[in-house]
Amino acid sequence: MRGSALKPIDDAGLYVSPRQVARLLGVSEYLLDKAIQEGQVPHRRIGQRILIPRAWIDFSENPIAPPPYTEA
C-alpha cells in the first residue's frame, strides 16, 4: 500500500479489507484474523469476505497490537 491512505473496497467508502487494516496497524494478518474471531474487531461478513468498518480504524488506538518490548 502506498502512502497512508486506505482505498475503500465498497462504493460508499465505509469498509476496508483485513489486509489493509493489518498493514495500517502494523500487525500480521494472522493476528488480525484471530482478533476478528475473538470479537475484538468489529466486522461484517458477506459470504467468505470480511469487511472492517473504516470508522473503527480512524478512531482505533490499535487495541490488538502486542505491547512493545521492554527490558526488565
Is 54 part of any domain? yes
Number of domains in the chain: 1
Is 8 part of any domain? no
Is 69 part of any domain? no
Is 64 part of any domain? no
Is 28 part of any domain? yes
pLDDT tier for residue 7 given thresholds of 50, 70 and 90:
low
pLDDT of residue 31: 93
Is 7 part of any domain? no
Is 70 part of any domain? no
Q: What is the Cα–Cα distance from 62 to 24, expressed in whole angstroms?
A: 10
* pLDDT digits 0-9 by tens, 19-44: 988 988 888 999 999 999 999 899 99
Residues comprising the chain, all counted = 72
Angle at the Cα of 43 from the Cα atoms of 38 and 45, rounded to 5 degrees: 100
Is 3 part of any domain? no
Residue 51 CA from chain centroid, whole number: 9
Q: Domain span at residue 22?
A: 15-59
Q: Average of pLDDT values for 7-24? A: 80
Element (H, E) at 58: helix 54-59
